[in-house]
Amino acid sequence: MYCFHSPFGMIDYDWGEDCCHAVVLQQQKSLHPQHEDPVSLWLSAYFCGKVLPLPPLCAATTPFQAKMRVGLCAIPHGEVRTYGELAKILNTAPRALGRALGVNPLPLLIPCHRIVKANALGGFHAGKVWKQRLIDGEKAAHGCFNP
């Protein structure tokens, strides 16, 4: 595991020799070392408001998760969709989608934070504070994230 110092806290991630396997948005200080690799370069660009191609990611574990990844990555930077909107596109139920989003091992890289309830923020495994900050930062006119 390695860590990245973001404007909102530490991000731990598991970078193998050829792909990212997991991302964990932390609430407290990380014990893992910083590292320069495709994930840290992508995160640096992301938090400066730049959109880069994703670093290599581990394969989705199910066909549905692979389909969900495609749907999430199709949501433009700075925009959100509701659970219902994405569920309709993916031809599934909003609750099934919510369960799959809850076990997304690559939050931020696979932007599950861009999915909201029709009338509220909705859940996020790293907490609603992280989710709101990510959404607000992406929507900011200058594109840079401020803590």
Q: What is the pLDDT of residue 9?
A: 86
Q: What is the pLDDT of residue 22?
A: 96
DSSP one-letter code for 114: G
Euclidean distance between CA atoms 43 and 63, whole angstroms: 26
Number of H helices, E strands in the chain: 5, 5
Q: What is the pLDDT of residue 51?
A: 84
Q: What is the pLDDT of residue 21?
A: 96
* Vertex 39 angle, CA 61 and 133, to 5°: 90
- Say whether pTM exceeds 0.95: no
Euclidean distance between CA atoms 16 and 113, whole angstroms: 24
- Helices 83-90/94-102 angle, 10° precision: 100
pLDDT profile of the chain (147 residues), mean per 10 = 89 92 84 86 92 94 94 94 96 93 94 95 91 90 62
Q: What is the pLDDT of residue 17?
A: 79
* Other Cβ atoms within 10 Å of 39 Cβ, number: 25
Element (H, E) at 68: helix 63-73
Euclidean distance between CA atoms 49 and 125, whole angstroms: 23
Q: Facing residues of 20 across strands?
A: 15, 57
Catalytic residue among 58, 73, 112, 144: 112
- Is 48 noted as a catalytic residue in this protein? no
* CATH number given to 63-139: 1.10.10.10
Boundaries of every domain in the chain: 2-47, 63-139
